[in-house]
Structure 1
Amino acid sequence: MRKRKTLNIAVTGLLLTSSFTVVSSASPILGERVYAETQALSANQVFINTLAPLAQASQERYGVLSSITLAQGILESGWGKSELTKKGNNLFGMKGRYNGNYVTMPTLEYVNGKWITINAEFRKYANWQESVHDHSLLFVNGVSWDKDHYKKVLDAPNYKVAAQELQNAGYATDPGYASKLINIVETYNLQQYDELYDSVSSESAVSGYAKVTTVSGNAVWSLPYKVKGTKLVGPASNYTNQDIQLVRKATTKRGTYYQFKQNGKVVGWIDQKALTLYDTEEYNKGFVARAAITTTAGHTVWTKPYNVYGRTQVGAAANYQKQEVKIEREAKTARGIYYQFSINEKVIGWLDKRAFTVYEYDSVVNEQKVSVDAQVAETDGHAVWSNAYKLQGITRVNAASSYANKDVKLDYKRKTQHGSYYRFAVSGKTVGWLDEKAFKMYDTVEYNKAVNLDAKITKPTSNAFWSAPYYSSGSKWVTSASTYANRDVKLIREAKTKRGTYYQVQIDGKIIGWLDKRAFKFYNQLSSNVVYSYPAIITTTAGHAIWSAPYEIVGTTLVGQAAPYHNKQVQLLRKAVTDRSTYYQFSVNGKTTGWLDTRAFDVYDNLETNKAVHLTGTVKNVTGNAVWSLPYKTIGTKFVSQAAPYLNKQAVITREAKTSRATYYLFSISGKEIGWLDKRAFANIK
């Protein structure tokens, strides 16, 4: 240890920096907690890593070279293993009391040319940061008899000068003290810590992902570590084994650092050594082949190529040992080449290429007889083969382009690892096998029947006329539907396929072609149109209009709204029934007006006879009967009263009238005329 003159050192406060904060002795400061986790480093390096941030913070504030603080800490504390350090967090052998706190320890002193042991009071600190702070204040404040006692140490240009000035100032009685400090600095390259700030030599935007896997000795900073102005964001351990998004990359003399995001928010910068970078795909493309999984040791199946961001484990490759599979895709990363594979049409995952034995030929997965009409519509990249493509022993028959746009018959289908293939014939002669993607399959017509419908072409956009129902065998484009937009047409046939319903169209007696049902507005069909002579009153006009013919039959035009005829008495002339409703043709004051829905009318009965009679009778059946001013439901009739008040009354019947509905009597009681009542209400008629 050392001996010096009695010192009266007043500690004025604790060191507080932007990066480190003093905490209780039970909770080590951040630097100690972070670096003490480093199990892979030597114990000496762990000590240096723990003390270095404190030394550099002190150098930044007070000017004490970090290399000197580190070397003294190593020498005085025996790499932090001394009893004084363990009991009092005293790294530098500072004697006396600190805020009244001390520990008593035996110490060797070099006196009069020899070493002696004495008991002395040594300062006790709550943590290492307090110890470094107090040590720095000694150099700044000096001693009681000389405030500039250590000024040359602070002003020293390098660690060698500083070490010698420490010895010259009598910091220690050991005559080899300076040499020991210099040797420690150079042995452990401590002078590197005297350079407080780094500068960024390169910086660029990046796009990638990584996992935080090495947190010991690492932290997250507001700028790349040791760049001037950087501030601590938090320990790297806050992100242990978490995925992060990398957005920028910077290089300094100390290393490489990445700025990262989590949940879309920028967090800070972290040393590349803390990360396991995910691989990026150099390519990811379709690659179809038949293969077997033959080498599973050391391999795993993943949802994406291995070490690509977002991949998760599917299972051990051994689960698929010796199974025949279909390779779907191939991807390459810096780590290797990977295949995505499927079994029985189900995609399993990605596996290292080295796990597979890829076969030269495909096999038939399934096959079936078919009978399908088609057209060779896509020939680029296709050829006709003697069997399904990639099967062993196939030979090339011809270029697919030789059969471009030809109608063909498909009679056999084979599925292999590469796809589905059809055997086809032209004019009854078998040609060979062609990829299904080369064919346009015609639809099967479910039915094709005669109809007699009227319609208007109201939606010509994206529709066309075809020589047969669209996409059925023999169907050829005739013309755009817009050629006949808004034309009234006659539909003479209806056909249905899986794609839709189609009508064959006739205009002015000429067949044009087939058109999709959705292009038409259909007219109503007239099922009957007969004479219908009745008086009526138009009572409901809302939502009704008058037409030149029954509504929505071909040729109908608007005459006018029904509203002007509200409560008008009219004469009905004809009654027509369509598949939509029933309509009346009517006249007003002898002039034919037009057609109107039956729901607009209150229809009255015609009076067939009205003659004088001389009869008597008794009112007996009053239930459901009433007395009216005229025969019931004839024009002008009004309600007089219920029949009930006249039950069992003797009546004189003076007139009899007959309508299409019933026979009615005009009657009087006790010489007073009452009104008209249904004949069925009377009994004992004489």
Structure 2
Amino acid sequence: MTKKKVMKIAVTGLILTSSLTMIPAVAPLGEENVAIAATNANQTFINTLAPLAQASQEKYGVLSSITLAQGILESGWGKSELTKKGNNLFGMKGRYNGNYVLMPTLEYVNGKWITINAEFRKYANWQQSVHDHSLLFVNGVSWDKNKYKKVLDAPNYKVAAQELQNAGYATDPGYAAKLINLVETYKLDQYDVLYDSIISESAYSAYAKVTKVSGNAVWTKPYKVKGTSLVGVASNYQNKDIQIVRKATTKRGTYYQFKINGTVVGWIDGKALTFYDKETSNKAFVSRAKITSTSGHTIWTKPYNVYGRSQVARADGYANKEVKIEREAKTAHGTYYQFSINDKVVGWLDKRAFTVYEFDSIISDQKVNLSAQVSQTAGHTAWSNAYKLQGLTKIGPASNYQNKDVTIDQKRKTQHGTYYHFAINGKSTGWLDTRAFKLYDAVQYNKAVNLDAKIVNPTGNAFWTAPYFSTGSKLVTSASTYAGKDVKLLREAKTVRGTYYQVQINGKVIGWLDKKAFKFYSTIKSEVTVNRPAVVTTVAGHAVWSKPYEVVGTTRVNAASVYQNKQVHLLKKAVTDRGTYYQFSIDGKTIGWMDQRAFDLYDNIEYNKAVHLTGTVTNAVGNAAWTEPYKALGTKLINQATAYQNKRVTIIREAKTSRSTYYQFQIDGKTIGWLDKRAFTNVK
């Protein structure tokens, strides 16, 4: 055999049985057994080898159909002695990591079959066999690195099979045809498509638990879609509750994208999940019932198997309890009732646990004394007793009493709700749901006042003949009719709803209006005449007004900044509920009123006379020398009195203010300034 015919690869078209009797691995082309349908054993072989072939195709480019067809042909569906003894699927000759199996084989040489003994590679498993087979195509042989390049570059299995034969992989002249026949018989070319394409994808909202983790994983895209990568094994999320946000179908199956704690994690096979039920309906369903069948039932915070539900208690703890059913919900598992006891919701329980009564019972009953108007009649009916009680009769639709003022003397509560017994003009009429009535408010007090205000917030407010929602209150007009008007407030009344004022405009009483509609003017608590000088020093946030700020009738005169650092004379002082204000003049002209915080006030000098005295400065601490008596207009600091401690001085003038008496003094014939009289001793 030439060097080209005896290579370190399998080139056999036959396999050996355990008795070493040679039999055909695949019958000659066209014979009956070429078209044998795939048995369960054959399909198991394909299913086992296909993932290894696809992994090799993804890494090295060897078509999976060629790997599978060669594996079938060379190993006789994995039943050859070489495969059994050495996990060698492809008849690869030579040694693998020093390991081999010595086997007889047939070679087709010079037009005839001959038997030779050869070393065949021995592998630990099929994965090594596939890997080594692929490397042969990638690396070639020592004398030709590109021997199988055309196999790798082949666009399909037919070209690849022929290029294998052309490269001399096997000596059998029908080798390519046999491979092609296997591919087409068992549809092996389907495994050449490594990636799935997404058939459909859409937003999907559901909750589920990861329960079947074996063989599953989480991916960045649906499994086997091109570009997907592993996020982690499914066991990382075992028994985790997840939120499903998208659904995608591929040829392989259905996959779901999910979040945990609001963060997207990845995609997982739907077979790994147990889905929570969705509520197909959830509606009010009020009735009186008793829990009579507790065996096998549990009370939940939500209907059974709805996401987020948790166990409240075993149903048998509530056996024979009379309850009120609040709501009914339906899921794929059944129908469930939410129930309460003594107005406290307990939870959800299977409908089959209850016996539902036809009639309600009276839960509570009390005498009342209320005034109201029948205002919400839609869906309501007047009855001879509270609704759903045994023996009641229908009186008529609530619309018969629309806008009627009524008195209410009894309040009765049942499982269905709360009902009032009412009378019109002192005549007993019937029972209506409390929601049909507009109850009038009780007036807590109603007193005379004398206030000035402006209507500044008319939106949503109106004038009424009495405080809003009190007995006999009727609409007069919208508050917007008098928007911006100055008004006089005559009375103030308070109800549970708010505070209201009776309004007079130009001597005419209009009606009652909510306190929130008004801007209240300030009231002058006191006003006195003053006479003292001052300087306007702090102007930020201040203005000059014709009257004290926010007193009725006041108007803006000017910005305070116009008078900054001006010497002024204060004429009047007014105290309001908002603050203290001064009226001031400049050069004898009255300007207006401004907040006291804008002024620096000075003392008036009551007298200033010449004297001739001597004394000693002994109480200097806390005193200072000034150019004028302290806090007289224009005074400025000269020095701290401590500079003159124990000095003998001459006193030349004496002045008095409302604050104190001051001396102007000299030292050694030099006039120093003015100092508080109390700083001196030994005055003569």
Taking structure 1 as the reference length, the TM-score comes to 0.70
Aligned partners of 2:390 and 2:215: how far apart in 1?
60
Among candidates 48, 52, 55, match of residue 51 of structure 1: 48
Among candidates 146, 156, 159, match of residue 181 of structure 2: 156
Partner of 2:388, secondary structure, is coil
Aligned partners of 2:677 and 2:353: how far apart in 1?
104
Among candidates 570, 573, 596, match of residue 572 of structure 1: 570
Question: Offset at 1:553?
Answer: 0.6
Change in Cα spacing, 1:350 to 1:548, as seen in structure 2 (3 Å) is same
Within a 5 Å distance, the mapping from 1:166-177 to structure 2 comes to: none
Among candidates 272, 290, 305, match of residue 303 of structure 2: 305
Aligned partners of 2:247 and 2:669: how far apart in 1?
115
Change in Cα spacing, 1:406 to 1:426, as seen in structure 2 (3 Å) is same
Give the aligned partner of residue 255 of structure 2. Answer: 259
Give the gaps of 5 or more residues in structure 1.
1-6, 14-42, 78-82, 107-118, 163-190
Change in Cα spacing, 1:105 to 1:580, as seen in structure 2 (3 Å) is same
Query: Which moved further from structure 2: 589-598 or 90-99?
Result: 90-99
Q: Is the 8 A contact 1:413 1:422 kept in 2?
A: yes
Partner of 1:549, secondary structure, is coil
| Partner AA of 1:478 in structure 2 | V
Question: Offset at 1:261?
Answer: 0.4
Give the aligned partner of residue 422 of structure 2. Answer: 424
Give the aligned partner of residue 171 of structure 2. Answer: 146
Question: Offset at 1:442?
Answer: 3.3
Change in Cα spacing, 1:148 to 1:513, as seen in structure 2 (3 Å) is farther
Give the aligned partner of residue 245 of structure 1. Answer: 244
Confirm whether residue 600 of structure 1 aligns to residue 598 of structure 2.
yes
Q: Is the 8 A contact 1:261 1:268 kept in 2?
A: yes
Give the aligned partner of residue 383 of structure 2. Answer: 385
Question: Offset at 1:503?
Answer: 2.2
Aligned partners of 2:239 and 2:278: how far apart in 1?
19
Taking structure 2 as the reference length, the TM-score comes to 0.70
Change in Cα spacing, 1:568 to 1:10, as seen in structure 2 (3 Å) is same
Aligned partners of 1:313 and 1:69: how far apart in 2?
60
Aligned partners of 1:363 and 1:515: how far apart in 2?
44
Give the aligned partner of residue 350 of structure 1. Answer: 348
Change in Cα spacing, 1:94 to 1:392, as seen in structure 2 (3 Å) is farther
Within a 5 Å distance, the mapping from 1:609-624 to structure 2 comes to: 622=619
Give the count of matched residue pairs.
596
Partner of 1:563, secondary structure, is helix
Give the aligned partner of residue 551 of structure 1. Answer: 549
Q: Is the 8 A contact 2:299 2:313 kept in 1?
A: yes
Q: Is the 8 A contact 2:10 2:90 kept in 1?
A: no
Question: Offset at 1:669?
Answer: 9.0
Aligned partners of 1:593 and 1:230: how far apart in 2?
83
Q: Is the 8 A contact 2:361 2:389 kept in 1?
A: yes
Give the aligned partner of residue 281 of structure 2. Answer: 283
List per-residue Cα deviations over 1:164-202 (Å, max 9, x = no partner).
xxxxxxxxxxxxxxxxxxxxxxxxxxx687865999998
Change in Cα spacing, 1:618 to 1:130, as seen in structure 2 (3 Å) is closer
Q: Is the 8 A contact 2:605 2:656 kept in 1?
A: yes
Aligned partners of 1:145 and 1:674: how far apart in 2?
130
Aligned partners of 1:667 and 1:521: how far apart in 2?
57
Question: Offset at 1:509?
Answer: 1.6
Q: Is the 8 A contact 1:67 1:194 kept in 2?
A: no
Change in Cα spacing, 1:612 to 1:96, as seen in structure 2 (3 Å) is closer
Aligned partners of 1:97 and 1:627: how far apart in 2?
117
Question: Offset at 1:671?
Answer: 8.8
| Partner AA of 1:262 in structure 2 | F
Change in Cα spacing, 1:236 to 1:557, as seen in structure 2 (3 Å) is closer
Give the aligned partner of residue 514 of structure 1. Answer: 512
Within a 5 Å distance, the mapping from 1:398-477 to structure 2 comes to: 398-477=396-475
Aligned partners of 1:274 and 1:675: how far apart in 2?
100
Q: Is the 8 A contact 1:84 1:90 kept in 2?
A: yes
Give the aligned partner of residue 521 of structure 2. Answer: 523
| Partner AA of 2:257 in structure 1 | K
Question: Offset at 1:62?
Answer: 0.7
Question: Offset at 1:444?
Answer: 3.5
Question: Offset at 1:382?
Answer: 0.8
Among candidates 290, 293, 296, match of residue 295 of structure 1: 293
| Partner AA of 1:421 in structure 2 | Y
List per-residue Cα deviations over 1:341-368 (Å, max 9, x = no partner).
3344443433322222222222333444
Question: Offset at 1:378?
Answer: 1.0
Change in Cα spacing, 1:479 to 1:92, as seen in structure 2 (3 Å) is same
Among candidates 479, 482, 495, match of residue 481 of structure 1: 479
Partner of 1:392, secondary structure, is coil
Aligned partners of 2:74 and 2:443: how far apart in 1?
92
Question: Offset at 1:570?
Answer: 3.3
Q: Is the 8 A contact 2:63 2:192 kept in 1?
A: no
Question: Offset at 1:664?
Answer: 6.2
| Partner AA of 2:65 in structure 1 | R
Change in Cα spacing, 1:59 to 1:213, as seen in structure 2 (3 Å) is farther
Give the aligned partner of residue 177 of structure 1. Answer: none
Change in Cα spacing, 1:357 to 1:532, as seen in structure 2 (3 Å) is same
Query: Which moved further from structure 2: 301-310 or 523-532?
Result: 301-310
Change in Cα spacing, 1:564 to 1:363, as seen in structure 2 (3 Å) is same
Q: Is the 8 A contact 1:72 1:92 kept in 2?
A: no
Aligned partners of 2:493 and 2:472: how far apart in 1?
14
Aligned partners of 1:422 and 1:628: how far apart in 2?
83
Aligned partners of 2:666 and 2:180: how far apart in 1?
142
Give the aligned partner of residue 207 of structure 1. Answer: 204
Q: Is the 8 A contact 1:537 1:567 kept in 2?
A: yes
Question: Offset at 1:51?
Answer: 2.1
Q: Is the 8 A contact 1:221 1:230 kept in 2?
A: no
Give the aligned partner of residue 338 of structure 1. Answer: 336
Aligned partners of 1:66 and 1:368: how far apart in 2?
93
Give the aligned partner of residue 176 of structure 1. Answer: none
Partner of 2:352, secondary structure, is helix
Q: Is the 8 A contact 2:649 2:667 kept in 1?
A: yes
List per-residue Cα deviations over 1:2-22 (Å, max 9, x = no partner).
xxxxx9673499xxxxxxxxx
Aligned partners of 1:247 and 1:386: how far apart in 2?
56
Q: Is the 8 A contact 2:258 2:266 kept in 1?
A: yes
Give the aligned partner of residue 61 of structure 1. Answer: 65
Q: Is the 8 A contact 1:55 1:70 kept in 2?
A: no
Partner of 1:156, secondary structure, is helix
Give the aligned partner of residue 504 of structure 1. Answer: 502
Q: Is the 8 A contact 1:248 1:259 kept in 2?
A: yes
Q: Is the 8 A contact 2:8 2:92 kept in 1?
A: no
Aligned partners of 1:97 and 1:639: how far apart in 2?
113
List per-residue Cα deviations over 1:603-634 (Å, max 9, x = no partner).
44445566778x86766885666676666655
List per-residue Cα deviations over 1:192-220 (Å, max 9, x = no partner).
87865999998574735455555667788
Q: Is the 8 A contact 2:50 2:64 kept in 1?
A: no
Aligned partners of 2:247 and 2:169: how far apart in 1?
52
Aligned partners of 1:311 and 1:74: how far apart in 2?
52
Aligned partners of 1:315 and 1:244: how far apart in 2?
26
Give the aligned partner of residue 320 of structure 2. Answer: 322
Partner of 1:462, secondary structure, is coil
Partner of 2:253, secondary structure, is strand
Query: Which moved further from structure 2: 522-531 or 292-301?
Result: 292-301
Question: Offset at 1:381?
Answer: 0.5
Give the aligned partner of residue 150 of structure 2. Answer: none
